[in-house]
Amino acid sequence: ELRHDGIVAVYERECRDGQVIFYLMEYMPGGDLEAAVLRGEVTRERWWPILLQVGEALQFAHERGLVHRDIKPSNILLSLDGCQARLCDFDLVRDAENTAGTKEGLGSIVYAAPECLDCGAHADARSDVYGLGMTFVFAMAGKKLGMEVVRNALAVIEALKLSSSMTQALSQAVAWERESRTASV
Catalytic residue ranges: 70
* Residues 14, 138: Cα–Cα separation, whole Å: 33
The full DSSP string for 47-115 is: HHHHHHHHHHHHHHHHHTTEE-----GGGEEE-TTS--EEE---TT-EETT---S--S--S-TTTS-HH
Rg (CA), the chain: 16
CA atoms within 13 A on the CB side of 31: 9
